[in-house]
Chains A and B, each alone.
Chain A
Amino acid sequence: MNALLVSAILGVLLMLSSVFIKNRSYIHALALAGLATLFALNLAELNGWLLFEIDVKGMLRFDRYALVMNAIMLASLFFYLLLSGNAMEKVGPHYADYLALLFFICAGLFMVTGYASLLILFLGIEVISIPLYILTGSDKRNLKSNEAALKYFLLGSFSTGLLLLGIAFFYGARGNFTATVSVDPTVVGSSLQLAGLLLLLFAMSFKVSVAPFHFWTPDVYDGAPTVFTSFMATIVKVALFAAFVRLFEDTFSLQFSIWQPWVAGFVVITLLIGNLTAVFQQSVKRMLAYSSIAQAGFMLLAVYAINGDSKEGLLLYAASYSLATIGIFAVLTYMQDYAFEGFNGLAKKQPLVAASLAIFFLSLAGIPLTGGFLAKLFMIKAALAYQLWLAIVAVIMAVISVFYYFRVIQAMYFRDNTQSISPEFPKAFSILLLITALIVVLLGILPEAILGLLYF
C-alpha cells in the first residue's frame, strides 16, 4: 500500500521535474532516490508499518508474498535504472517523462501483485500497458519503433478486451469481483464460469507472452528501444506472472482439473517455440526476445503446479531472471549492432564485462551456482509433483537453451575479434555489472536471502 501510493506521487513529481530541473543527472538521481524510498517503504510495510491507513474495501491485499515480490521488482528496477540510465538518455529528449512513465507503471505493478478484486487486476494491467505502449514508440523517428508500438497497442487492446469479457462473465456467474475466495464449481452457473475462466486464462497468457499467444512479443521486443525492451521483458513480465499465479491458485484453485491440462499444453508449446526459434536467430536482441518466451514457459510451470515450491520458485525466478536479462540488455545498448559477431573476443578486451555476461547467460541457461539454476530446480520440482513427462520436456528444453545462450559465451571467450571497433564501457558500468552478476551468483548459493523474507 505504501509503495503503491508513493510511486504514483513520484510519477507526477518526475513529470513536473523536467520543468524545474534542467540537468539530467539530477533527474536520474531523483528517480533513484525515489526508488530507494519505495524500497524502504515496501520493507517497512513488510514489517507492519503503514504510511497511510486507507480502507480499500477488500480490493487490495498486500500479504507477504506480494510484498516480497514488490521488493524483488524494486531492487531489479534499481539496478535497471543504474545500468540503463545512460542508454535512456539516447532514446529521445523526454528523459524525465520516461522516468515518470516508469513510476506510473510501478504503481500498476503493485496493483497486479496485490489485487484482491478482479477489477483492480484489470486496472493494474491497464496502468501498466498504456505507458508501455508509449515507451515502445518512444524512439519517434525510428519506423520499427513506431510499428512495434502500434502492433503492441492493437494486440494489447484486443487481449485487454478478452480480459474484460472474462471478468464480466465471472461477475455474471458470481455476482462479485472478489478474487480471494475460490470459485466453487458445483454451485453457480457453470457455462458462464467456464467461459470466464478460459477467457481469463487466454488473456493472461497473452500478457505474459505465452505461446500460442506470443506472436506480438518478438516484433515488439525487437522494435522497442532496447532499454525499454529490457524493462518489459523482465520486471513487467514477472509481475504479471505473480498475478497469473494468484489468479489460478486463489480464485480458480477448485477448478484446476479444467485448466491444468490447458496450462500444461501451453507450457510445452511455449518451451518448444521459444527455445527452437531462439536457436536460429541471428540478432542477439531477437534471440533474447525468444529466450524471454522460453523463460516464460518455465515460469508458467509455477501456474501449472499449485504448491509451495512453485511460489517460492517464482520469487527466485523473478530475481535471477530479471537481473540477468537486465544486465545483458544493458550491455547490448553499448554494442554497435546486435549481431553475435559483435561479442567476438570481448573477454580479452573487457574481462569484467565478459565475465559478468557469462554469469548472466549461465544463469539463464540454468547452470548450477547461479540463481537461474535454483529457480529452474524449484519449477521442475513443483512440476514433478504432478507429471513426470512435463519435467522431462522442461529439462530437455533447458538443454536446448544452452545452444543459443552459449553462442555469446563462445563468441566472447573462444573467438577472436575480427573487427577493429570494439565497444567501450565506462569503468563504473563494468563494476556495477559485476555486482549484479555477483548477486545472481549469490542467489544460487544462498537463496534463503530472498526466500527467508517470506517467512521471517
Chain B
Amino acid sequence: MVVLLLLLIPLIGACFLFLYKGDHRFVAAAALRLSIVSLLVMGASLFYWNTPEMLSFTAPWLTTLGSSLSLRMDGLGTILSLLTTTAYFILFWYLKGRTIERPAAFFAWLLLAQVGMLGVFLAMDSLLFYFFWELALIPMYFLASQWGGARRIPVTFKFFIYTFLGSVFMLIGILYLQSKTADHSFAIESIRRIRLTNEQQSWLFWLFFIAFAIKLPVFPFHTWQPDTYEESPTPVTSILSAVMVKMGILGLLRWLLPLFPIASYMWGDVVMSLAVAGIVYASFLAMQQVDLKRLIAYSSIAHIGLIAAGAFALNQMAYQGLLIQLFTHGINILGMWVLADIIERKTGTRSLDSLGGIAQHSPTLTIFFVIIALANIALPLTNAFVGEFLLFNGILATPSNYYWVFAVVGGLGIIFAAVYTLRMIRAIFYGQPSATSPAPISLATHEVGALVVIVGLILFFGIYPQPLIDMTAAFSKELFDQTDITSLFRKS
C-alpha cells in the first residue's frame, strides 16, 4: 500500500496544480508540503522494510494483454525512491523563494515527472515499466521546452527523439520476452523463468541496452545530454541529472543484467570500454568548458561512465558500490546544480571567464560550494567516497582479461575530475572579483536550508556510511546471485 501512496501523492498534487492556478507563494508552499508528505511516506516504507505486503501492490490492469499493475519496493527501489523523495524535497525547498513563470504548471509537470520516475523504480511488470518510462519523459520534455533557454526547442526535441528511439527498441524486446513466457505475461517473475539461448540473449541485450545507454547516457549515445542540460531551466536539469539518469541504471540492474546474464558477460568488455572511454572523453571536454552548466553536464557524463562500468563488473562489491553511488551521486549532483543556479541568478552569468573572486566577499556560498564539489569528486569523509571505493574494488575484480585497463582508465577519471573541479572552484571563487559580482552574495533562508540538508547528508554519510551499506547489502547479494557467471556456466 505504501508504494501506491508514493505514486498517488504526487499524481493528485499534479492534477490539483494543473487545475488550480495559484500565485507563486501558494503553489511553491503546496508543492513543498507534498514533497514533505512523500518523504514521510518514504520514511514509513523504510520502517516497514520487513513487512513485504506493505511494500507491494498488485491490481489487475490490461489483463487481456497479460499485464498487471504490479508495484514492489525491493532494495534497489528503496534506494531510488529515497533519492527521489529526498531530491524533490530539497529542490522544492530551494524553489520556494525562486521566481518562476507560470509556477502552477511548472510544479505540476515536475510532480508528474516524479510519478513517472517512481513508477519506473517500483514497477515489476515490464509493460507497466515501459508506461512509466514514457510518462517520465513527457513532463521533462514539456518542462525543458517551455521554460528553457533560447535554443530550447530543437535541443529538447533531440532529447525526446533520442530517448524515444531507445525506448521503442526496448518495447520490441519486452514484447518478444512476453511472447516467450509460459503464461503470456509481462510480469518480471514470468520473464525470469524463460530459458533464453545465448544468441537470443545477445540481441535482446542490445535492444534493451540502447534504451538504457541513451538515458544514462553512455558514450557515444550522450550527444543529447550537454545541450539539454544547458538549455533546460536549472531546476529541471537538476532533476534530469540527479534522478532521471537513475532510470537508466535501474534498467541495467533490474531489466538487463539479471535477465540476460550471459549476454552481459559476453558484451561486458565492449560496454566497459565504451564506459571508460566516455569517462576520459567527457573529462577532457569538462576541462575545456567555460560555461558552468556545460561543465557540470560533462562531469556528470564522466561520473555516470564509472557507474555504468561498475554495473558490468558483475560482482557483488561493484554492485554495492553502485547502489550506494546511486544515492550519493544524486544528492551531490543536485547540490552542484542548485549552486550553479544560485550563482547564475545572483551574478547574471554562468561563464567561468566573467566570474571570479566570490570567495572574498561571500564565504558562506564558497564553503557550501567547496564541500559539495569535493564530495562530487569523492574525497574521503564525503558520502561518495565509500561508494566509489567499492566500485573501484569491484572493477578490479571484473571477470575480464582487461580488468586492469578499465581500472586504470577509470582511475584516471578521478584525477581528471579533481582537475576540472578545482579549476572550476578557482575560476569562480578566487582571483580578482569580477564586474559580475561586486557585492557579497547573500543567501536566503530557503536556499541555506536546502544547501544545509545537502551538506548534512554529505557529511553524515561520509563519516558514518553504515546505514547505506546495510541498506544495500541484501540487494547486491541477490543481484550477484542472479548474474554470477561462474555458477551460470556451471549450471549449463
State the A residues within 8 Å of B (CB). Answer: 312, 362, 367-369, 374, 377, 380-381, 384-385, 388, 391-392, 395-396, 398-399, 402-403, 406, 410, 413-415, 447-448, 451
- Which of the listed residues A368, A415, A451 has the most CB atoms from chain B within 10 Å of its own CB? A368
Q: A384-B172, A415-B153 known; 7 other A-B pairs, CB under 8 Å?
A: A380-B175, A392-B172, A414-B146, A414-B153, A447-B62, A447-B64, A448-B64
Which chain B residues border A395 with CB–CB below 8 Å? 168-169, 171-172
Which chain B residues border A312 with CB–CB below 8 Å? 64
State the B residues within 8 Å of A (CB). Answer: 62-65, 130-131, 134-135, 138, 142, 145-146, 152-153, 157, 160-161, 164-165, 168-169, 171-172, 175-176, 178-179
The 4 closest A-B pairs by CB, nearest first: A395-B168, A368-B134, A414-B145, A368-B131
Contact A380 B157 (CB under 8 A): no
Contact A377 B171 (CB under 8 A): yes
Can you show 14 pairs from A to B with CB atoms below 8 A apart?
A312-B64, A367-B134, A367-B138, A377-B65, A385-B179, A392-B169, A392-B172, A396-B168, A403-B161, A410-B145, A413-B142, A413-B145, A447-B62, A448-B62
Contact A402 B160 (CB under 8 A): yes
Contact A368 B179 (CB under 8 A): no
CA distance A381 to B160 in the complex (A): 24
* A315, chain B: closest CB distance, angstroms: 12
* A297, chain B: closest CB distance, angstroms: 15
CA distance A391 to B152 in the complex (A): 32
Which chain B residues border A406 with CB–CB below 8 Å? 157, 160
Which chain A residues border B134 with CB–CB below 8 Å? 367-369
Contact B171 A380 (CB under 8 A): yes
* B123, chain A: closest CB distance, angstroms: 12
Which chain B residues border A410 with CB–CB below 8 Å? 145, 153, 157
Contact A414 B152 (CB under 8 A): yes
CA distance A145 to B142 in the complex (A): 39
CA distance A10 to B138 in the complex (A): 45
CA distance A367 to B142 in the complex (A): 14
Contact B175 A369 (CB under 8 A): no
CA distance A392 to B165 in the complex (A): 11
Contact B164 A399 (CB under 8 A): yes
* A406, chain B: closest CB distance, angstroms: 7
Contact B146 A384 (CB under 8 A): no
Which chain A residues border B169 with CB–CB below 8 Å? 392, 395
Which chain B residues border A396 with CB–CB below 8 Å? 165, 168
CA distance A423 to B472 in the complex (A): 57
Contact B64 A451 (CB under 8 A): yes
CA distance A374 to B142 in the complex (A): 22
Which chain A residues border B152 with CB–CB below 8 Å? 414
Contact A413 B135 (CB under 8 A): no
Q: In this complex, what residue of B is CB-closest to A452?
A: B64
CA distance A280 to B135 in the complex (A): 28
Q: In this complex, what residue of B is CB-closest to A454?
A: B64
* A228, chain B: closest CB distance, angstroms: 33
Which chain A residues border B178 with CB–CB below 8 Å? 381
CA distance A410 to B146 in the complex (A): 9
* A68, chain B: closest CB distance, angstroms: 14
CA distance A250 to B170 in the complex (A): 34
CA distance A278 to B135 in the complex (A): 26
Contact B130 A368 (CB under 8 A): yes
* B215, chain A: closest CB distance, angstroms: 15
* B75, chain A: closest CB distance, angstroms: 27
Contact B172 A399 (CB under 8 A): no
Which chain B residues border A369 with CB–CB below 8 Å? 131, 134-135
Q: In this complex, what residue of B is CB-closest to A358?
A: B142
Q: In this complex, what residue of A is CB-closest to B145?
A: A414
Contact B176 A384 (CB under 8 A): yes
Contact B161 A402 (CB under 8 A): yes
Which chain B residues border A448 with CB–CB below 8 Å? 62-64
Contact B145 A398 (CB under 8 A): no
Which chain B residues border A381 with CB–CB below 8 Å? 175, 178-179
Which chain A residues border B64 with CB–CB below 8 Å? 312, 447-448, 451
CA distance A388 to B176 in the complex (A): 9
Which chain A residues border B165 with CB–CB below 8 Å? 396, 399
* A91, chain B: closest CB distance, angstroms: 36
* B11, chain A: closest CB distance, angstroms: 12
CA distance A380 to B131 in the complex (A): 16
CA distance A374 to B135 in the complex (A): 14
Q: In this complex, what residue of B is CB-closest to A348?
A: B102
CA distance A402 to B64 in the complex (A): 28
- Which of the listed residues B146, B161, B172, B178 has the most CB atoms from chain A within 10 Å of its own CB? B172
Which chain A residues border B176 with CB–CB below 8 Å? 384, 388
Which chain A residues border B153 with CB–CB below 8 Å? 410, 414-415
Q: In this complex, what residue of B is CB-closest to A365?
A: B164
- Which of the listed residues B65, B142, B169 has the most CB atoms from chain A within 10 Å of its own CB? B65
Q: In this complex, what residue of A is CB-closest to B134?
A: A368
Contact A377 B161 (CB under 8 A): no
CA distance A395 to B153 in the complex (A): 24
* B49, chain A: closest CB distance, angstroms: 31
Q: In this complex, what residue of A is CB-closest to B165?
A: A399
